Structure 1
Amino acid sequence: MSEAASRSGPGRVLIAVYAVFALAATARAAVQILTRFEEAPLAYLLSAVAGAVYIVAAVGIARRGRTAHRVAMASCAVELIGVLVVGALSIADPAAFPDDTVWSRFGSGYLFIPLVLPVLGLLWLRHVGRAEHAPSA
């Protein structure tokens, strides 16, 4: 698959959604950390981590090459684990999360997009990886 093809259609939409989430999570976390950190330090730090993961995933998906592909796969996997763990913990122990993170309750505050996004990212990366290694016609 050519570089142009890997960044068009579904790939382009995926990159755009990751970029929006990267900006939203990072900006929200920055404001919360700078203005109200003592209220919910764990939640705000987790939102900052989520923002960083979204940035790495967006760049990894947008770039071509084996290293970028591996970085994107790893960041999507970390994101999926994060949303599952934080989602479960935020339901099991709500007191530990006095304010929401991007991943709280499996991303319910964001229409569950944080839960679906890494799955779509991993599927897309698998598709692109297969296409890049398929014999040319």
Structure 2
Amino acid sequence: MSREEYADTQSTNPRTSGPGRLIIALYVVFVVGSLSRAGFQIATEWEQAPLAYSLSAFAGVVYVVAAVSLAIRGRRAWWVSLVAISTELVGVLAVGLWSVLDPAAFPDATVWSGFGRGYLYIPLVLPVAGLWWLWSTRPTATSRARRRGR
């Protein structure tokens, strides 16, 4: 590994500064909240609402991937973040709409039910903020060329 490559790996991650810290912190809170709730419900009440509990567990996994990939520096991590947060946005919109149009399908709420109504709509706002932050901190051709010494 050259000195430039080593220096590049030691420099700061632009996604973990400024608003990125708050976004990552919210993802961590949602990881703990959604996975602990889903784990408890799956272990004790699975028969009551297996779809809702499975979707909450899936949301928790998406939150884990988003939080970790946002905290990691590099283009690959940026792309993983983009996929995870886009999946989250599609999930909250799809499950939110489904739960409003067919409430009987969700005898118990998920993290994404009612567009995150039970969580102050943060599940709806968080992926929008996350995508905005990703776009603001996206890797550019200039930064890639600089890393290659051009």
TM over 0.5: yes
Number of the residue aligned with 2:45: 36
Alpha-carbon RMSD across the aligned residues, in angstroms, is 1.3
Number of the residue aligned with 1:123: 132
2:13 and 2:72 in contact (8 A); partners too: no
**1:86 equivalent in alignment to 2:92:** no
Residues matched between the structures, number: 133
2:92 and 2:124 in contact (8 A); partners too: yes
TM-score by length of 1: 0.93
Q: Which runs of 5+ in 2 are unaligned?
A: 1-10, 144-150
Matches within 5 A, 1:1-137: 3-129=12-138, 132-133=139-140, 135=142
- Distance in 2 (alpha carbons) for counterparts of 1:75 and 1:40: 25
Displacement of 1:135: 4.2
Moved over 4 A (4+): none
Q: Which runs of 5+ in 1 are unaligned?
A: none
TM-score by length of 2: 0.85
Displacement of 1:3: 2.2
